[in-house]
Amino acid sequence: MGNTQIHQRPIGRRITPQRAQFRRLAESADIGTVTRAQLAVLAQSLTCTGLINGTESHLLVALINTVPAESFDRSGRPIVFKSNQQLAFEIGRSVGRVSRMLSSLFDAGLITMQDSGNYRRYPIRNGDGEITDGCGIDLRILIVRYAELDELVRQVRAQKKAADAALRRYRGALRNARYALSAAARLSEDSLSRIGARIERVSNIVEIAGKASSRVLRRATALLEWLIERMMQLPRRSAGAQETQNMTCPYVENGMHKQITTPHPFDESNQERRSANAEQLSSKAGSASKWAFEESLRRGRSEINQPRRLPQAVVALQDVLRAAPALKTYGFAPSSWADLARAVPLMCRLAGISEDARARAVEQMGEQQAAVAVAVTLEKYDRQEVSSPGGYLRAMTDRAAAGELHLARSVFGLAARNCMEVRH
């Protein structure tokens, strides 16, 4: 016969490294700094943070109210010795449910527990009758984490308030955009249909406004307000004018830049449509030279295979932000190249650039250069110099494949132009 192996019943709750850390943290509590009333209010407010649900909050409040108020004084010991059966009776839940909720509160770092060998809870007193230790539900960790949890509740409430404000502003902007679309009389039907399609595309991107993040709502609101200004034919505002009043333009290769305007901003026409392969419109004296934009985009096909290659200039992120104030207009504020690359899909959706065009640009240019190309395209689209952003980006991709694309010139040229517009 083989030896019979007897499996002993595990004693107490399972201890994880995180729970052991919570126990150690509870021992450092400075009892007397937080009252029972403060903890009860905090326990009721924690549901808004998502740490616990309403039933767990109800149980936590019951645990806090079980401990006498003097137990939170300097000489007290806030430990609950009630059984799961008694707690289940008080909150109207089953014993098994209470046991599971206690484990959840333990994992969330809102209580710590010390179980005895027979699963009973009892205090350990000294000769004077004061509780020095015990097996039960310890609430000291709430005292240690009170400031942290209270600040978390404040932050969540502030975020909720900001989200509600962004939601109200978005709904108002959407309503005003649709009203302005129906009231606009000086635009052609083609222009109105295109603007209406853009408004509905923004609405579809946001989808259910109540579930969208405040960041998405702010970007959508900025775009809708921009469309309203275009429909009302208001003069274009220079983004960041106050920030760049005293700016010089040290990155401009020449002191002047060629001015480009599209005489028909909304009407779609083969003659006026801008694309990456289109010729630059001529301008009067006082405009910048041809080095400001990509020379390769203005060459004839006979020049593409010429052996002349200009060295690529290094473009900084700040150069891109100065060259494309439309990024700020649409709610984008990248602080790194990674942020700009992550914003590219949404930028493409706002400009109507297809996923295939974006994927081809990334494959040919790389993520960083493709992000710069999309930013330049968005800026020209915002200036109404490009009526087909997808086609413009595809043409830039083709030029990049031929080695004839110079994004640095576009960036420096647009930055120079923005500086000149601000000055004048």
**Mind listing the pLDDT tens digit for each residue in 337-356?**
888 888 888 888 888 888 88
Torsion of the alpha carbons at 132, 134, 137 and 141, rounded to the nearest 10: 40
Position 276 scores a pLDDT of 47
Rounded to whole angstroms, how far apart are CA atoms 233 and 180?
Answer: 11
State the pTM of this model.
Answer: 0.52
Quick check: 302 pLDDT over 60?
A: no
Is residue 292 within 8 A of residue 252, CB to CB? The reply is: yes
Of 86, 122, 90, which is closest to residue 114 (Cα–Cα)? 122
Round the average pLDDT of the chain to a whole number and report it: 76
Position 238 scores a pLDDT of 56
Rounded to whole angstroms, how far apart are CA atoms 373 and 395?
Answer: 11
Is residue 419 within 8 A of residue 248, CB to CB? The reply is: yes
Taking residues 27-32, what's their average pLDDT?
A: 87
Helix (H/G/I), strand (E/B), else coil: 169: helix
Looking at residue 375, its amino acid is: A
Taking residues 250-274, what's their average pLDDT?
A: 41
**Residue 11 burial (10 A CB sphere; 0-12, 13-18, 19+):** exposed
More confident residue, 327 or 234: 327
What are φ and ψ of residue 276, in 5° steps?
-70, -15
Position 128 scores a pLDDT of 63
Cα dihedral sign for 377, 380, 382, 387? negative
Of 357, 182, 389, which is closest to residue 268 (Cα–Cα)? 389
CB atoms < 10 A from the CB of 250, how many?
A: 7
171-224 pLDDT, tens per residue? 888 888 888 888 777 778 888 888 888 888 888 888 887 778 888 888 888 888
Position 119 scores a pLDDT of 61
Report the percentage of the chain scoring pLDDT > 90: 19
Q: Could you tell me the pLDDT band of residue 401, with boundaries at 50, 70 and 90?
A: confident
Taking residues 266-282, what's their average pLDDT?
A: 40
Position 143 scores a pLDDT of 93
Taking residues 366-378, what's their average pLDDT?
A: 90
What is 54-77 written as a DSSP string? HHHHHHHHHHHHHS-GGGGSTT--
Quick check: 266 pLDDT over 80?
A: no
Find the length of the chain: 424
Taking residues 384-392, what's their average pLDDT?
A: 86
Looking at residue 110, its amino acid is: L
